[in-house]
Amino acid sequence: MSKMFELAKEQYAGIGVDVEKAMELLANAPLSIHCWQGDDVLGFEGGETLTGGIQATGNYPGRARNIAELRSDMEKVLSYVPGAKKVNLHANYLDSSKPVARDELEPKHFETWVEWANALGIGLDFNTTFFSSPLSEKGSLTNPDEGLRAFWIRHAKCVRDIAEYFGRSTGKTCVTNHWIHDGEKEVPIDTVGPRMRLIDSLNQIFAEKKNLEYTRDALESKLFGIGSESYVPGSNEFYWAYVVQHPELLITMDAGHFHPTELISSKISTVLCFAEKMLLHVSRPVRWDSDHVVLLDDETRQIMREVVRADALERVYIALDYFDASINRVIAWTVGARNARKALLAALLEPVATLKKLEAEGDRSSRLALQQELLTMPMGAVWDEFCERQGVPVGTKWLEDAKKYEREVTIKR
């Protein structure tokens, strides 16, 4: 144990914070690390373009081109990020030598992922993949063509079966996120029709009840995308209403899916008043849903504070969602994941009971003063100790290793 940590621990104890307890909670709170930062969201169906209103910009060398490369890169990232982890897969990351239609996906196409996850002792999360397909150019679950809409309903059903298999065979609940890119560049005349079709699609997809121990389904809303600037049927109020009517489903809130001045941190407590659980996509929008690497910025910190202050660590699934192709992808991945963890640590190092007491007593001046003092408390020493105990590199050591991996592996691709 470092001297710095000992001193930090004492200083936190002085304001009523149990550092050991905070580190224990941090170690056990799973962080779902998305697979798609490693290959610019392309997946392994052989496609070379990303469509559906999202974009990975940049062409830094070293993109993972196959499953072996992606797993190798992810193993690096996992080794740099302390605490419990899950890996979040998309349905287009199947392992198959032959092409498989998205409505014909089966657990067997993801068997090697389960073996990989089990060898690492981590859980898997999952996602339907509606984007990057010629069959969803005019939409997926809202598609006016009944044949195509039925195709995408079948896709979602396949994904739910695979998710259940993930949960059963890893022993860890698989959280499955559903996001559709459907929407319009201009406001259509009929704004109700697509939404009614979406309701019908969801009703069909979720008609079969799954074992909630193995899998939970979540619906991700969005305000707009590239090419769907004016109208998105799967808006926040749409899914929120649907989820409230179907309490076994969860709402997903992505930090980049609202108006630029709207913050998901301010919405968490409302969701928690009405829903058992929820899913977060921790991301960073810069002027639009740009999916920049997560920083240790005010909003990321506020998101984690809201979760911790509401005592909701067990109720909020925390997943990452960003993709930057303009810098070293392993480093981008790691920076965002470590930042999400650091933000959670900062939240766990708050004297929440004291702050709530001050608030209840009406002492808003002390509440403000204490919060501001907290900002310069020695969290870094606790973070380093946490990394040390979790067996991941301390400080910038991981960066040296990541640069070495770049020189020896990714740059040669």
Q: How far apart are CA 244 and CA 261, in angstroms?
A: 25
CB of 35 to ligand RNT, least distance (A): 9
Active-site residue among 39, 125, 289, 406?
289
| Region 127-186 residues binding ligand RNT, contact defined as CB under 6 A | 127, 179
Look at strands 278-282 and 316-320 and give their pairing.
Answer: parallel
Query: Does 222 help bind ligand RNT (rule: CB under 6 A)?
Result: yes
**Whole-angstrom distance, CA of residue 406 vs CA of residue 413:** 10
Which listed option, ligand RNT, Zn ion, none, makes contact with residue 41 (CB within 5 to 8 Å by class)? ligand RNT
Quick note: the x/- pattern for ligand RNT over 287-316, rule CB under 6 A, is: --x---------------------------
Of the candidates 180, 259, 247, the one whose C-alpha atom is nearest the C-alpha of residue 220 is 180
Q: Does 333 sit near ligand RNT (CB under 6 A)?
A: no
Instruction: Select the residue interacting with ligand RNT from 321, 324, 350, 385 (CB under 6 A).
Output: 321
**Residue whose CB is less far from Zn ion, 220 or 306:** 220
Choosing from 181, 281, 292, 342, the catalytic residue is 281
Cβ 302 to Zn ion shortest distance, Å: 18
Between 54 and 124, whose beta carbon lies closer to ligand RNT? 54
Question: Which entry of Zn ion, ligand RNT, none binds 54, CB below 5 to 8 A by partner kind?
Answer: ligand RNT
From the list ligand RNT, Zn ion, none, partner contacted by residue 289 (C-beta under 5 to 8 A by kind)? ligand RNT
CA 322 to CA 302: how far, in whole Å? Answer: 18
Considering only 210, 281, 305, 338, the residue that binds ligand RNT (CB under 6 A) is 281
With CB under 6 A as the contact rule, the residue among 42, 54, 174, 280 that binds ligand RNT is 54
Question: Has 161 been annotated as catalytic?
Answer: no
CB closer to Zn ion, 303 vs 345 = 303
The answer to the question of residue 71 lying near ligand RNT (CB under 6 A) is no
- Type of residue at 388: E
Phi, psi of 197 (to 5 degrees): -65, -35
| Alpha carbon distance 200, 70 (integer Å) | 36
Mark whether 321 is an active-site residue. yes
Question: Where on the chain is the footprint of ligand RNT (CB under 6 A)?
Answer: 36, 41, 54, 127, 179, 220, 222, 254, 281, 289, 321
